[in-house]
Amino acid sequence: MSDPELSIEQSLAVLNSAIDGARQRGVSAAKAALSIGGGLSVTVRNGEVETIEHHQDKTLTLSAYRGKRKGTATTTDFSPRGVEETVVAADRIARNAEDDPYAGLIDSSYLARDIPDLDLDHPWVLKPEAAIELAMRCDSAARDGDARVDQTDDISVSQHRGLRGYATTAGFAHAYRGSRHSLSCTVVGKQDGAMQCGNWYTVSRDADTLETAESVGRRAAERTVAKLGARKVTTEKVPVIFEAPVAGSLIGHLVNAISGGSLYRKASFLLDSAGTAVFPDHVSLTETPHLARCLGSAPFDAEGARTKDRDLVDNGILTGYVLDSYAARRLKLEPTGNAGGVHNLTLSHQDLSLTQLLATMRRGLFVTDLMGFGVNTVTGDYSRGASGFWVEDGQIAYPVEEITIAGNLTDMFKNIIASAADTDLRGNIRSGSILLESLTVAGA
């Protein structure tokens, strides 16, 4: 039996052997995390197969505590000897580490007790020949739809199945399987000597719910050729819409700013913001970790804490932070079940289509692509390269490129006018298109 096919019981046996070994060495506490995965990836470029990759990975990470001293070691060898050597290494590091008053396992009162079955595991029996056939269909759809499509730059089909487990000396020991499958297409368009690049992708835990190869190819081509003939713009302050696939990045900046590491390092523009208004009162953010089959779902977090529904933002008010147990101790707060990140964090929306949102804006910039990383989490200053479309009289007028959008996240969050119902469900953060009152838009 290959490692990616280890059963839940076999994986728990590996975890428990690490925990038992740590106990036998007399540590005060220990925790072990296990990850196993494997799958197939095929890449096609311009109708030619470029890569076929079978991939397998596995890791076991053990953290041993001696009082407030912590040592961590990792291995890919799950044999009894490999596990024993990892335990010895972690304990040796702990014995020589400095005291950290905040170190330790999460309090057992926060551990998940009832582990829900979230229907996350949907194996996809995909042979390389079938993956190539899917990619070729996508390639044909992209290149046949419009003569301006110059080439398909990258078409990838990916199938993955994995297992995650966690155990501690406090008696927690659970594991679960999950799958993630995807098809992506990147297209290059050409017109009058100018070139543009665009893409589209579909991802799901269940391959049966992926968009068709033809749909992905056509959509990538449509998004690409729509950019041809792009112009530059003059500098001015105008309303801006972030299209759903990029709007989630704005919510991601909020999550980063209210995460434990940023807060206890005092490296956040949202310090001491819990209980205050960070968005207009028509905006809420809801975390729902137990949605069946969803990409961001998890029965427990990365340290075994129970995950649960909560309104992270309720009618504009930030209700709390995103904390693991270490950050919670440093901040004298309670952990929130977010070790490893948020789970299906979803932005509320008005009953508006993207077309209606454009009409609401009337004139401004519709951003479809972002470039660069000009975001300062300490101050909230925001400046990124962008491209998209100029909007006049509520209609897309022409594509634009080589522009920079700038503002401050504090103001941007508070000046959200509306969000559309075109929620992008392809990740942990789920958002529709967002209309902001204004940003500075600068031509390159």
DSSP classification of residue 307: P
Phi, psi dihedral angles at 321 (to 5 degrees)? -120, -175
Side chain identity at residue 286, one-letter code: T
Distance CA 166, CA 106 (A): 13
- CA 115 to chain CA centroid, Å, is 23
* The two structure tokens encoding residue 233: 């713009």
Q: Where are the alpha helices (DSSP H) in 258-304?
A: 260-264
Phi, psi dihedral angles at 343 (to 5 degrees)? -130, 110
pTM of the model: 0.94
Partners of 83 in the beta sheet?
none
DSSP classification of residue 444: -
Which residues lie below 8 Å from residue 145, measured CB to CB, with a gap of 6+? 217, 218, 221, 222
**Whether 390 contacts 403, CB under 8 Å:** no
**In which residue ranges of the chain is CATH 3.30.2290.10 found?**
3-225
- CA 213 to chain CA centroid, Å, is 23
* The two structure tokens encoding residue 191: 């017109």
Place of tokens 């005060």: 28
Neighbouring CB atoms inside 10 A of 228's CB total 17
3-state secondary structure of 5: helix
Ordered per-residue pLDDT tens for the chain, 444 residues: 344 567 999 999 999 999 999 999 999 999 999 999 999 999 999 999 999 999 999 999 999 999 999 999 999 999 999 999 999 999 999 999 999 999 999 999 999 999 999 999 999 999 999 999 999 999 999 999 789 998 998 999 999 999 999 999 999 999 999 999 999 999 999 998 889 999 999 999 999 999 999 999 999 999 999 999 999 999 999 999 999 999 999 999 999 999 999 999 999 999 999 999 999 999 999 999 999 999 999 999 999 999 999 999 999 999 999 999 999 999 999 999 999 999 999 999 999 999 999 999 999 999 999 998 889 999 999 999 999 999 999 999 999 999 999 999 999 999 999 999 999 999 999 999 999 999 999 985
Distance CA 53, CA 56 (A): 10
* The two structure tokens encoding residue 385: 């390269």
Side chain identity at residue 100, one-letter code: D
Evaluate whether the domain defined by 3-225 bears CATH number 3.30.43.10: no
